[in-house]
Each structure stands twice: as structure tokens, then as C-alpha cells.
Amino acid sequence: MKPVELKKDIYWVGAVDWNIRDFHGYSTYKGTTYNCYLIKDEKTVLFDTVKKGFFSDLMHRLYNIMDPKEIDYLVVSHVEMDHSGSLQEAIELIQPEKVFCSPLAYKAIQGHFHPTDWPLEVVKTGDTLELGAHSVNFLETRMVHWPDSMFSYIPQEKILISNDGFGLHWATSERFDDEVNGGELMRHAAKYYANILLLYSPLIQKILAQVADMGLEIDMIAPDHGVIWRKDPGMIIRAYDTWSQQKATNKALVIYDTMWKSTETMAKAIYDGILDEGVSAKLINLECTHRSEIMTEVLDARALVFGSATLNNGMLPRMADILHYMKGLKPTGKLCAAFGSYGWSGEAPKMITSALEDMKLEVVSEPLRINYVPDHDSLKPCRELGQKIGKMVAADNLPPACEDVYCET
Ligand code: FEO
């Protein structure tokens, strides 16, 4: 298994996981990578290890460069097991002189591994590690997305090793952004942001400002998942700036689950009403769309309309799932409404409305309900609701929606 050279004496030595399909409820339907980086110098350092089960991939790549036992230092950017699951094996085999980690990673290492004699050394923001021709500047990035997360910057080569930041779940044989389809790349990056980082958006704004204040020149961003950004690293930084401000586009989503198609019929009428106002809309059936794909669409949508039939005096289970998932990710700045067909009790639209209010989203209409099966006349309020929402979105004069969720025009 071959390493890939980023710049002279700096290598990608990670693993590609073609088979993972679920990452804590996130659909990794195209797999992922666990990236590790090696800098060969007077002192040689390995940044991160890999998920348990991929240790031999890491070692095979390292053996193509050097005997892993000659590595002097390890850096633990983050203790989550997709990057540190092989840490114990790596320390036992390499016997490093030092293992560098942030103060909070030090605590997390105790909690995960209970080490007795590891040569741990805590580094903080502003600390520098000298390797010879290269040095490493550390920058703690707390809660992006774990308390212990940390960036490493190599000033001589202008490379930012960004841990989970700027990552994406996509298994590819290519290692660089300019080797893959750009639209698909940004779609995966947006999905990753929407499902992992969205709730930390205020912190990400601060980190982006901190990086700008530090005046770091960046030629490459090397994250721990997905491809390395070298074509235009500024683009993913600008995308993070846009996403962390939760900037919307001229787009509304109608997200629904249905029992016997009555709620679906309502959804279609609402969707038509939105289109009447010249707003881009998507009709999303929860039965056939994964929650993490929906969150990717939510990222740049201005309006969200949720519909569910009533089952057992409540909303349908898939609606509860997406609302619960979305609540944790803390989207902001959305116009919302709820609807649904019902037979006798009809609680679902009211329960959805209360869930949306609980998320502090702007509910723009009373819950809209239709008893049993809608006919042409009873669909009129649905189309009007769509038009009302469409008018509100159109009034914001937002940029057009982009299929990749982020486009620079
Ligand atoms: Fe937070 Fe990729 O681990």
C-alpha cells in the first residue's frame, strides 16, 4: 500500500474504508478515509493513527517510506476512535520518544486508554515543535468537534493539518481535491458540515477569525477525512464561512411522511404554491431519504415545511426522528410550518409545530390539517400556505440554490 507525497518529505499514510455505511446515524454511503500524515525530518512525526482494524494499512504505507520504529513523535489531534483506535498498537510498535496532545486530549486519553507509561506531552495553542527543516505550530480547536480537537500548521510548507475540520466522508483512490469531481466534492463537504459541525457554527466563526488574525498562509489543508485541499484551499474556508453563518439560498423544502398518500397530496399542493412564487423547492419523502441527506438540504434552505399523518395520537416515527436529529444540530434562520392529514385525533401537525418552536425556528402559520382525503377544494389552503412561504422566501432576495449546496459564482 503506497503512501502519497503531499510535498517533499510530507506524506499521506492513512487508510481508505470502502465499506462503512453508517457513522453514528450519518449515512456514509460512499465510505470514508482515516487520514494520517508523516513528516520525515531530523525528528520524524506521525499525525494521528487510524481506526482499529486499519492499523496494518497504516503500517504497510509507512514501511514504504521507513521503518515505523524510527518515528520519533506522534501527534494525537483528536481522541475519537476513528483517529485513535490504533493508538495503543502504534505506541507499542513505534515506542515514540513523545506523544503530543492538547490538554483536553490528555484527559481523553486517560479516559479511553488508561495508560501508565505513555510519554505524553501536552501542547497548547501557540506552542511549536521543532523537527529540523520543519516545525509544527499547534492550535487548539475546542469543540470542533470534540473538546480535545487540535490543528497543526507547518509554516515551511504552508500546510494545515486540520483534523476533522474541512473533512468529508468519501472513499476515493484520489487524494487531492483537483483529482475528483468538484460538484460531488462540495456536496460531501456540505453533508459533513451539516451533520457534524452545524451545531458548532458560532465556534467555527471564531476559529475562522482566529486563523485570519494569525495571517496563516495556506497552500494545503490536510483533513483527517476525505481528500486534501490544494487546488484552492480558500474555497473550503469560504464555504465554512458561509455555512457557519447559516446563510440561506432561495430554497424551500417540503419534508413529509404519509400513511395513505393524503399527507403526500397536501405536500404536493404546498410544493406547487412555493413554486408559484419563483422559489426553488424540493419534495422530500422521509420514507426514501436518509436523515443526513435531509440535513444537507436543510443547510442552505430558507424554509422548511413538515408534514405528517397522525399515528397513535402522535407524528409518524420517521418525522420524530428527523425533528430530533435536526434539533441537536441547531439550524437557525428557517421559516417553518407544519401540516398533515388525519382521521380522528390529528395531533401530528400541532406536535411538529411545538417541536419547531422549541428549536426557536420561526413558525409562520398555524398547523394545517385536512380530515381524511383531500379533494381539489380542500387543497386550496395547502397551495396558499406554499404561496405564503414562497412569498416570504422570495422577499429575501437570496442567491439561487445550488445542487452542490455551495457554489461560487
Ligand atoms: Fe471526530 Fe473523525 O473523528
Q: Where among 244, 265, 297 does a domain terminate?
A: 244
Is there a catalytic annotation at residue 192? yes
**Count of domains in the chain?**
2
Domain assignment of residue 283, given as a range: 252-395
Q: Of these residues, 26, 37, 192, 240, which one is catalytic?
A: 192
Specify whether 236 is located in the same domain as 297: no
Distance 265 CA to ligand 1 centre (A): 41
Is 400 domain-assigned? no
Specify whether 195 is located in the same domain as 283: no
Flag whether pLDDT at 404 surpasses 90: no
Q: Where among 201, 228, 244 does a domain terminate?
A: 244
pLDDT, tens digit (0-9, with 9 covering 90-100), for 29-53: 999 999 999 999 999 999 999 999 9
Tell me, using a 6 A CB cutoff, whether residue 187 lines ligand 1. no
pLDDT, tens digit (0-9, with 9 covering 90-100), for 104-134: 999 999 999 999 999 999 999 999 999 999 9
pLDDT, tens digit (0-9, with 9 covering 90-100), for 119-176: 999 999 999 999 999 999 999 999 989 999 999 999 999 999 999 999 999 999 999 9
pLDDT class for 1, splitting at 50, 70, 90? confident
Specify whether 70 is located in the same domain as 177: yes
Mean pLDDT value across the chain: 97
Specify whether 262 is located in the same domain as 310: yes
Specify whether 186 is located in the same domain as 266: no
Distance 86 CA to ligand 1 centre (A): 14
What is the rounded radius of gyration, in angstroms, for the C-alpha atoms of the chain? 24
Q: Of these residues, 41, 48, 57, 80, which one is catalytic?
A: 80
Contacts of residue 44, Cβ cutoff 8 Å, sequence gap at least 6: 38, 66, 70, 71, 72, 73, 131
Flag whether pLDDT at 8 surpasses 90: yes
* Tally of CA atoms within 13 A in the half-sphere of 42 that contains its CB: 7
Average pLDDT over residues 281-308: 98
Specify whether 258 is located in the same domain as 363: yes
What cell was used for 134? Answer: 520543519
pLDDT, tens digit (0-9, with 9 covering 90-100), for 196-205: 999 999 999 9
14: how many CB neighbours lie within 10 A of its CB? 28
Flag whether pLDDT at 403 surpasses 90: no
Is 322 domain-assigned? yes
Specify whether 34 is located in the same domain as 172: yes
Residue from 312, 242, 326 nearest 284 by CA: 326
Q: Considering only CA atoms, which residue is closest to atom 1 of ligand 1?
A: 80
Is 153 domain-assigned? yes
User: What pLDDT is recorded for position 28?
Assistant: 97
Single-letter code of the amino acid located at 165: G
Tell me, using a 6 A CB cutoff, whether residue 224 lines ligand 1. yes
User: What pLDDT is recorded for position 405?
Assistant: 83
Flag whether pLDDT at 189 surpasses 70: yes
Distance 4 CA to ligand 1 centre (A): 22
Tell me, using a 6 A CB cutoff, whether residue 164 lines ligand 1. yes
Specify whether 173 is located in the same domain as 59: yes
Average pLDDT over residues 92-101: 98
Tell me, using a 6 A CB cutoff, whether residue 78 lines ligand 1. yes
Is 77 domain-assigned? yes
Q: Considering only CA atoms, which residue is closest to atom 3 of ligand 1?
A: 80
Specify whether 130 is located in the same domain as 68: yes
pLDDT class for 406, splitting at 50, 70, 90? confident
User: What pLDDT is recorded for position 230?
Assistant: 98
Is 102 domain-assigned? yes
User: What pLDDT is recorded for position 99?
Assistant: 98
CATH number of the domain that 259 lies in? 3.40.50.360
pLDDT, tens digit (0-9, with 9 covering 90-100), for 48-67: 999 999 999 999 999 999 99
User: What pLDDT is recorded for position 408?
Assistant: 79
Is there a catalytic annotation at residue 164? yes
Tell me, using a 6 A CB cutoff, whether residue 169 lines ligand 1. no
Specify whether 256 is located in the same domain as 172: no
pLDDT, tens digit (0-9, with 9 covering 90-100), for 343-359: 999 999 999 999 999 99
Is 70 domain-assigned? yes
User: What pLDDT is recorded for position 294?
Assistant: 98
pLDDT class for 409, splitting at 50, 70, 90? low
CATH number of the domain that 88 lies in? 3.60.15.10
Residue 102, helix vs strand vs coil:
coil
Q: Where among 217, 244, 271 does a domain terminate?
A: 244
Tell me, using a 6 A CB cutoff, whether residue 347 lines ligand 1. no
Pairing relation of β-strands 280-285 and 251-257? parallel
Instruction: Please answer whether residues 365 and 388 qualify as being in contact, where contact means their C-beta atoms are separated by less than 8 angstroms.
Output: yes
